[in-house]
Amino acid sequence: MKQPTVETSAISASDAAVMFNLSISHWYSCCVYVAAKLGIADELKTGGKTVAELAAITDSDPDALHRILRVLFSINIFKEADDGTIELTSLARTLQEDAPDSMKGWILTAIGHRLPLWSQLLHSVKTGQTAFKEVYGAPVWEYYTHNKQDGENFIRAMANLTRPVIEKIVTVYDFSPYQTIVDVGGGNGTLLINILGAFPESSGVVFDEPYVAKITSGKIEASAVKDRCTATGGSFFETVPAGADLYILKNILHDWNDKDVARILQVCARAMRPDSRLLVLETIIPAGNEVHYAKLNDVNMLLAQGGRERTGREYEVLAAQAGLQLVNIVDIGLEECSIIEIIKKE
């Protein structure tokens, strides 16, 4: 008996090419990481240098360094002048340590100690557990306590990434009704310093881990709001400064699982007065299957912190569990952040 013919759909060359390019996209990222780690962009601030000069400064092999830079030339990160010297491009300037919108801290974080986590994604999918402890033998926050340089890079990364978000928040949201503001888990104080700079009648406290607060105190002292801002250390699982008009949790809750989020919100609820307000600044997962930053970062949360990105409804449920009430979600026009307004239940 003749077997029926099974027709198979041919894979188009264009689809195969797209998949191939996806499979090697991290190769470019790794070249960017090496340039950031070696400080190439910082070395070029005073003018172009030859590969030989850069290799000597960075203690690198000249031929290997040129091969990395050749890749980066092709995607407009650095350029090679006619005389062979290496020069900055606008993209390369984002890798400078002190650039206003520097991406160096983020590159050193995302493609440094966090890249190996993605090789363990299957582990996380199979077990539902983070890959961080699997790779480094400790949870992420414990790791940062013992690996200060990576921890400080992470803090700088969050501060730099949050700059355009902060500009939007300060423009869109009116902080003038709040005389006292506590930024819970406020990192190096970038958010609160900018809020107080825009609203001169307000004062505030940056609350974070003691080693973070120590770093933050120095940044506050060098700021224009040093007379209205302080930093203090502690654990938001235990207590936060009480009695403020406004509490802020920016990119904190997505780091934690639902049980831990409920604990953090309960601590904030205990510190709040009946008329206090809490702002949760997080990305919101939208309905549907369109591309959105929150969906990819949700996998990042699974791998690293063990937290997750959430829908508005999920934040509403978590707030209710802590005796709080979600009253509004403000779209600020950026995928990376929405403002979730929460009050104490009457």
**Active site (catalytic) residues:** 254
- Long-range Cβ contact pairs of 308-311 (< 8 A, separation 24 or more): 308/254, 308/257, 309/254, 309/282, 309/283, 309/284, 309/285, 310/253, 310/254, 310/282, 310/284, 310/285, 311/284, 311/285, 311/286, 311/287
Nearest to 248 by CA among 306, 204, 309, 307: 204
Residues 6 or more apart in contact with residue 292 via CB below 8 angstroms: 285, 286, 335
Q: Are strands 337-344 and 324-334 parallel, antiparallel or unpaired?
A: antiparallel
Three-state DSSP class for 126? Answer: helix
**3-state DSSP helix/strand/coil % of the chain, to nearest 5:** 50, 15, 35
- Looking at 7-138, list the stretches that DSSP marks H as alpha helix, in order from N- to C-terminal side: 13-38, 40-43, 51-58, 62-74, 90-93, 104-108, 115-118, 121-127, 132-136
Residues 6 or more apart in contact with residue 260 via CB below 8 angstroms: 237, 307
Distance CA 325, CA 305 (A): 26
Distance CA 138, CA 213 (A): 22
Q: In this structure, how many other beta carbons lie within 10 angstroms of the beta carbon of residue 224?
A: 11
Rounded to the nearest 10 degrees, what angle do helices 210-221 and 148-172 cross at?
60
